[in-house]
A and B are shown apart, each in its own frame.
Chain A
């Protein structure tokens, strides 16, 4: 099962390596990991996507909680939540392909944010699935570069992950 875990962690040097080190030392897999400071400068928020059986994910959550720097965490899988990932894609565009590509980008609610005579840079956000789907519709040979942020997530409704 895929789990999205949101973590509030002390914004201190080494905090990230404690999380990354835990995963490599215990052989858990990390599908993606994003981290940035929050509105409270002393805290960072991480979103970690992992896969594992229920038992393994239970251990992962306990082990994460055990890290002294981890202040709070939730498994977003246990709440109704929203997930978003940002993707930038650079695509080779021959003249005749441009219209078609533009309409696909529209359908996926993406934006073209850079244009040269031979390329587009497309910005797109959405669930990781949606981004996968977009990549699948574009001709593989035309893709120059793909960069993805990894998933971030937040629960719906009034309740939130804060101190």
Chain B
């Protein structure tokens, strides 16, 4: 088959099984857009800002496990995409971003809309390519998808100069079935010797805990994790990125750990004598002060990326491999092992854990006359029967969504953890809804975050992706305000916006339904109404208690057993800060 460069790009995407491209046109990609125009197999979603394209592709990827695909033009199109690429990079999300580049002949001459995209993105991609020859396009695209989706996933950028996609240069096309890269061999099963050591430790531990993370979601290891956890009977805690991989409603689950983790999860970690870390990277939001991190514990760490192991916390038993395969090895090893878990020790350990649990660190004032954000999330959980896909932005609302919506399945909780990108939630929800048209998709956001990619409301209308936006409106950059309250004697420097839009009118202006709620008793009915409107995007602007803080909290420089808890469950009667 003889095709030109632009046709080769689109045909390769089709042969790769790509359903959607999220993109925005411009000079350097006009040939590509012409090729898109002439086919219907790969559907193009026209966003309103390139950042939106990357987050939408990201939401699509997180909710399906398939790579998200983005197409942007050179220069400003490319730089607008960088935030979304970095967001995907930090959370190891598979994504392929095609950027147009100025023609080969003028690269390096400060040509119109030229930026060094390969250079700019180098620190925030898994890999990137500059295509210099039409005959290399198909192979490069194949490699890009392979690298993006295998091993520890991540974004890959393909920068294509305009002349490479020119209509008049045709070459023969065939899409490679496989690629071999001599310099890239992702790990598979774990080292047998290390597995043996791990099993010995697992069977002799007195106060063990499983700490699992995003790697279990990314590596589709949820079933294996559940099986292993049930076999061992250990308490399970998960990172923000891991939520859902182990069911939150399972009685072995003790909540999220880390800065805003539960009292029981953090205490269990602190007092444990053995940590089985699976697909988690000992992030600073999780460990707190490193010198004080889990002083009594031996650590087994399963991760596909050797660089994640012993990066911040020294690990005794490193196991490099795919979660799915390594957990299976552990299960098999445990079943064959001669001795069994010490039942007595397990019982007394659970007694301790349950005592920590009994503090009920997530309890909040249920009689408040102001709407408590936690209450909104709880109600949303009930209305959606725990089955929704929930995206979020970044801030207090993100933590409340994580704490009060117990996810039972992986890929349902979709948020930016590593980069913490405000503006992520709305476009991500559009990507999720495209992938799961029949599911409930909610975007939990805040009055500040939602304004960062608000333009995508227009995309949601055009492509009929009816999502529910739950705006926990505290009229503050709440997370910033909370830190200023705790660490800067309540000097609220620029964490308050004197003007915010009328979100109801704004939603209506974009062609959607807007509803404002300011009384607790109206929350449930409004949620029910919103989720019942199956074919409309609904913006719920919920005026919540402005003084509310996220608890528990481990402040900077503190360790797991040193948490700030909600001291007294006082009654807040109005929304004003005293």
B183 and A10 contact, CB distance less than 8 A:
yes
- Determine if B310 is an interface residue (Cβ-Cβ < 8 Å): yes
- Determine if B506 is an interface residue (Cβ-Cβ < 8 Å): no
A139 to B370, CA, bound (A): 82
User: Which of A56-64, A85-93, A113-121, A148-156 lies at the interface with chain B?
Assistant: A56-64
- Determine if B122 is an interface residue (Cβ-Cβ < 8 Å): yes
* Total interface residues in chain A, CB < 8 Å: 20
B196-227 interface with A by 8 A CB criterion = none
Interface of A: prevailing SS = helix
Residues of A within 8 A of B72 (CB): none
Render B368-386 as a binary contact track against A, CB cut-off 8 A, 1 for contact: 0000000000000000000
B306 and A62 contact, CB distance less than 8 A:
yes
A13 and B119 contact, CB distance less than 8 A:
no
Measured CB to CB, the closest approach of chain A to B133, in angstroms, equals 13
- Determine if A80 is an interface residue (Cβ-Cβ < 8 Å): no
A68 and B181 contact, CB distance less than 8 A:
yes
A62 and B307 contact, CB distance less than 8 A:
yes
Residues of B within 8 A of A9 (CB): 183
Render B298-312 as a binary contact track against A, CB cut-off 8 A, 1 for contact: 000000011100110
Residues of A within 8 A of B311 (CB): 59
A21 and B181 contact, CB distance less than 8 A:
no
A59 to B307, CA, bound (A): 6
B130 and A63 contact, CB distance less than 8 A:
no
A111-163 interface with B by 8 A CB criterion = 163
A58 and B184 contact, CB distance less than 8 A:
no
A14 and B127 contact, CB distance less than 8 A:
no
Size category of the B interface is: 10 to 19
A9 to B119, CA, bound (A): 18
- Determine if B557 is an interface residue (Cβ-Cβ < 8 Å): no
A68 and B130 contact, CB distance less than 8 A:
no
Select one of B122, B147, B305 contacting A17, CB under 8 A.
Answer: B122
- Determine if A65 is an interface residue (Cβ-Cβ < 8 Å): yes
- Determine if B182 is an interface residue (Cβ-Cβ < 8 Å): yes
B307 and A68 contact, CB distance less than 8 A:
no
Measured CB to CB, the closest approach of chain B to A68, in angstroms, equals 4
A66 and B130 contact, CB distance less than 8 A:
no
Select one of A21, A58, A70, A71 contacting B123, CB under 8 A.
Answer: A21
Q: Which residues of A contact B (CB under 8 A)?
A: 9-10, 13-14, 17-18, 21, 25, 55, 58-59, 62-63, 65-66, 68-71, 163
Q: Other than the known A9-B183, A58-B310, A68-B181, what 18 A-B pairs have Cβ atoms closer than 8 Å?
A: A10-B183, A13-B130, A14-B130, A17-B122, A21-B122, A21-B123, A55-B310, A55-B314, A59-B311, A62-B307, A65-B307, A66-B305, A66-B307, A68-B183, A68-B184, A70-B183, A71-B182, A71-B183
Q: What would 23 A/B residue contacts be, using CB atoms closer than 8 Å?
A: A9-B183, A13-B130, A17-B119, A17-B122, A21-B122, A25-B123, A59-B307, A59-B311, A62-B307, A63-B307, A65-B306, A66-B305, A66-B306, A68-B127, A68-B147, A68-B181, A68-B183, A68-B184, A69-B183, A70-B183, A71-B182, A71-B183, A163-B182
